[in-house]
Structure 1
Amino acid sequence: MSSAVTSRLVVGDRFRDFAEAVGAETLSGLTRSLDAGDLDTLQGPVHVVTGQGIGEFELSYLRDAITRRQLDDRVVLVHSTALPARRQELHKAREDNVLIAGLTQADDRTYEAQLRLHDHNELLVDVQDRVHVQGMVAIEAARQMFLAVIEHYFTARWPQQRYYIVLNSMNTTFSNFLFPVGATLRLTVDEADLSEPSRLTVRTTVELEQAGRAAAAVTIDAAAFAPGLLEEKELRRAKGAVASAVDTALATATV
Structure 2
Amino acid sequence: MSVVRLDSTTRAPETVATTFVVVADRFLGISADDRVHTVSGLVALLRSGRLADRELTVHLGQGVTRHDLDYLEHVGQTAGARLRVVGEIAEPARRHHVHKYQHSNVLLAGLTRENENVFRADLRLDSDNELLLDHQTGEHVQGIVVIEAVRQLFLAAFELEYGVRRPQEHFYIVWNNVDLRFTSFLFPLPATLHARLTPVSVDDPGKLQFVIETEVRQFGKAVTAHLAESA
Query: TM tier, shorter chain?
Result: 0.7 to 0.9
Decide which of 123, 148, 162 is 2:156's aligned counterpart. Answer: 148
Give the aligned residue type for 1:16. Answer: L
- Mapped partners of 1:129, 1:81: distance in 2: 24
Residue of structure 1 aligned with 2:142, choices 134, 148, 161: 134
- Taking a change above 3 Å as real, the CA distance of residues 168 and 22 of structure 1, as seen in their structure-2 partners, is farther
CA deviations on 1:16-40 (whole Å, 9 max, x unpaired) are 1111145311101111222343322
| TM-score, normalised by the number of residues in structure 1 | 0.78
Structure 2 CA distance for partners of 1:104 and 1:122, relative to 1, 3 Å: same
Q: Could you tell me how far apart the structure 1 residues matched to 2:194 and 2:175 are?
A: 19
Taking only aligned residues, the RMSD between alpha carbons, in angstroms, comes to: 2.1
Of Structure 1 and Structure 2, the greater helix share is in 1
SS in structure 1 opposite 2:148? helix
Q: Determine if the alignment matches structure 1 residue 66 to structure 2 residue 87.
A: no
Q: Deviations over 1:74-112 (max 9, x none)?
A: 211112354311111112121111111101122213111
1:87 aligns with 2:99: no
Partner of 2:211: 203
Paired position in structure 2 for 1:57: 67
The residue that corresponds to 1:26 in the other structure is 38
Distance, in Å, in 1 between the alignment partners of 2:224 and 2:126 is 20
SS of 1:106 mapped into structure 2: strand
Identity of aligned residues (%): 38
Q: CA 1:157 to 1:22, structure 2 compared with 1: closer, same or farther past 3 Å? A: farther
Query: In structure 2, what is the Cα distance between the partners aligned to 1:154 and 1:55?
Result: 33
1:183 deviates by 0.9
Structure 1 range deviating more: 16-25 or 207-216:
16-25
Conserved 8 A contact 1:21-1:131: no
**2:117–2:161 Cα contact (<8 Å) kept:** no
Q: Which one-letter code corresponds to 2:46 in the other structure?
A: L
Matched, 1:41 2:53: yes
Q: How does 1:168-183 map to 2 (within 5 A)?
A: 168-183=176-191
Counterpart for residue 157 of structure 1: 165
For residue 201 of structure 2, what is the aligned residue in structure 1? 193
1:7 to 10, 16, 19: 19
Correspondence for 2:175 among 155, 167, 170: 167
Per-residue deviation, 1:217: 1.4
Q: TM-score, normalised by structure 2?
A: 0.85
The number of residue pairs the alignment matches comes to 218
Aligned partner of 1:239 in structure 2 is none
CA shift at 1:70, angstroms? Answer: 5.1
Q: Deviations over 1:40-89 (max 9, x none)?
A: 232x2x21001111132322332332343454xx2111123543111111
For residues 140 and 16 of structure 2, the distance between their equivalents in structure 1, rounded to whole angstroms, comes to 28
Go from structure 1 to structure 2 and tell me whether the alpha carbon gap of 1:22 and 1:39 turns closer, same or farther (over 3 Å shift): closer
Give 5+ residue unaligned stretches, structure 2. 1-13
Structure 1, 132-141 or 163-172: larger mean CA deviation: 163-172
User: Taking structure 1 as reference, are residues 81 and 119 closer, same or farther at Cα in structure 2, changes over 3 Å only?
Assistant: closer
Structure 1 stretches (4+) deviating beyond 6 angstroms?
A: none
Which residue of structure 2 aligns with residue 240 of structure 1?
Answer: none
Query: In 2, distance between residues paired with 1:62 and 1:199?
Result: 51
